[in-house]
Amino acid sequence: MSLTDTFLRTAKPAERAIRKFDGSGLYVEITPSGGKLWRLKYRFEGKEKLLALGRYPEVSLKDARERRDEARKLLANDIDPAANKKAARAAKLAQAENSFEAVARAWYAKAYADKAESTRLKTITRLEQDVFPYIGGMPVASITAGDVRGVIERIEKRSALDIAKRVFNYIGRTLRYADSLGMVERDVSASIDLALLLPNRKTKHHAALTDPAAVGGLMRAIDGFTGSYVTVRALKLAALTFVRPGELRHAEWSEFDLDGATWTVPAGKMKMKIEHIVPLSAQAVAALRELRAVTGTGSNVRYVFPSERGGSRPMSENTLNAALRRMGFTQEEMTSHGFRAMARTILDEVLGFRPDFIEHQLAHAVKDANDRAYNRTKFLPERRAMMQAWADYLDGLKA
């Protein structure tokens, strides 16, 4: 008697396994624990064999019958269904190991082993968001120039030209890595002229407010911003410390000595690969202490400005710019990077601080009269006084 869906739904387990046949070797085995397993009994080359066809209800009665019929077609062509299934699984595994994503992750692990964590995170995130969903599952040897163009054109449509160029570079390096392993015959991206593929774009400078009255308005807008608490604190610290946005987003509590009013940015996070000291004003220390009381407790807390999606990642690189847009500042008026130009201009032209003090605090490659490059501790007392004067000045503008 053939099986029915009603029987399969209502069948109860017993102390021993129960087998109920449907026909042509197909049966369901009901285990003592309640599992309902599809099996196909068949003979091949004179030997009795079993083929697992899945579990009910994930595999319905209709699906199980279709799988049985497919297996019997193989038998009619003198093919063992179990051996065929094993070979298909092995082929699928081999394809996964040779997929573009697998090769790209192997290249990334080697090429970025000694890079700064912020660089590693940004690179793998771009691959996971812009490349793997489209060509990640393809065998690396089957990737064509057209596939690569498709990835780049998809990014170009959202006007993210810088990201498109970086992603193109990642794809090319992955393919050359595959070539070095003998997995592909050549790097197919080499035939693409990126200059022709992407439109020309004039270089843009980071917009910044430098008029004191406008800066006062900005500081009042930050104080009144109704966004997340972490974002407000990040905007305040961006203004008070004027570090690069990436250095701010990736700041970790372990880098701060609040009692000593000092933030030491590790060399691995710096553009010049040299440790950078940021003297903290009283206002910056107070803002950090308030933030730590809210988000900085617990053994697993790492980032000063964690992502809203979870504390294991830093704040998104778009968060501060998006906040500035919500406060009414256009991209042509102010950007998160613009806090640096804002401080540089006013500290020099309004407050009259020496340019070399300012450039050292900006962590720019400043050379002295003896041609010596940036020194992390140079002018530290003077820079500490400058940072406090800057914070006091911002408070005055805001008031």
pLDDT tens, residue by residue, 117-153:
878 888 998 899 899 999 998 898 899 999 999 999 9
Catalytic residue among 340, 344, 360, 383: 340
What stretches of 241-299 adopt beta strand conformation (E)? 256-257, 262-265, 276-279
Q: Please report which confidence band the pLDDT of residue 91 belongs to, taking 50, 70 and 90 as the band edges.
A: low
- Taking only the tens place, the pLDDT of each residue in 208-237 is 888 899 999 999 999 988 888 999 999 999
pLDDT at 396 over 90: yes
Can you read off the two tokens belonging to residue 300?
Answer: 């697993």
pLDDT for residue 251 is more than 50: yes
Can you tell me the mean pLDDT for 52-81?
92
Active site residue 55: no
Q: Which of 53-67, 173-187, 260-274, 319-333 has the lowest mean pLDDT?
A: 260-274
Share of the chain above pLDDT 90, in %: 52
For the domain 212-398, what is the CATH superfamily, name and number?
Intergrase catalytic core (1.10.443.10)
Q: What is residue 159's predicted lDDT score, i.e. its pLDDT?
A: 74
User: Out of 149, 244, 360, 383, which one is annotated catalytic?
Assistant: 244
Mean pLDDT of 310-319: 81
The pLDDT value given to residue 85: 83
Residues near 237 by beta carbon (within 8 Å), at least 6 away in sequence = 248, 284, 287, 288
Could you say which of 115, 374, 376, 398 is catalytic?
374
Q: What is the pLDDT of residue 68?
A: 94
Quick check: 302 pLDDT over 90? no
- What is the C-alpha to C-alpha distance for residues 186 and 148, in angstroms, rounded to an integer? 14
Helix, strand, coil percent values for the chain (each to nearest 5) = 55, 15, 35
Report residue 371 as tokens: 């041609």
Domain residue spans of the chain: 5-93, 100-197, 212-398
Q: Is 374 a catalytic residue?
A: yes
pLDDT score, position 313: 84
Residue 44 bridge partners (DSSP): 47
Give mean pLDDT, residues 306-334. 86
- pLDDT at residue 256, rounded to an integer: 93
**In the prediction, which pLDDT does 206 show?**
67
Active-site entry in 271, 289, 326, 354: 271
Cβ atoms of 27 and 9 closer than 8 Å: no
HEC per residue, 28-80: EEECCCCCEEEEEEEEECCEEEEEEEEEECCCCHHHHHHHHHHHHHHHHCCCC
Q: Is the pLDDT of residue 304 over 80?
A: yes
What value does the mean pLDDT take over residues 32-41? 93
pLDDT digits (tens, 9 = 90+) for 341-359: 999 999 988 898 888 888 8
CATH code of the region 100-197 = 1.10.150.130
What is the third-level CATH fold of 5-93? Double Stranded RNA Binding Domain (3.30.160)
What's the mean pLDDT in 98-127?
89
- Per-residue pLDDT, 205: 55
Tell me the backbone φ, ψ of residue 330, rounded to 5 degrees: -75, 170
Q: Which of 337, 344, 360, 383 is catalytic?
A: 337
In the sheet where 26-30 sits, what is the strand order? 18-23, 26-30, 36-44, 47-56
CA distance 267 to 273: 4
Q: For 317, phi and psi rounded to 5 degrees? A: -70, -15
Of 387 and 202, the structure prediction assigns the larger pLDDT to: 387
Q: Is residue 9 annotated as part of the catalytic site, yes or no?
A: no
Among residues 165, 220, 364, 398, which one is catalytic? 364
Q: What is the mean pLDDT of residues 41-66?
A: 92
65 pLDDT above the threshold of 90: yes
pLDDT at 296: 67
For residue 203, what pLDDT band results from cuts at 50, 70 and 90?
Answer: very low
Between 332 and 278, name the one with better pLDDT. Answer: 278
| Mean of all residue pLDDT scores within the chain | 87
- 57 cis-preceded (ω within 30 degrees of 0): yes
* Residue 168, number of CB atoms within 10 A of its CB: 21
> Given pLDDT bands bounded at 50, 70 and 90, which one contains residue 156?
confident
Q: Using the predicted structure, report yes or no on whether residue 163 has a pLDDT greater than 50.
A: yes
Q: Is 364 a catalytic residue?
A: yes
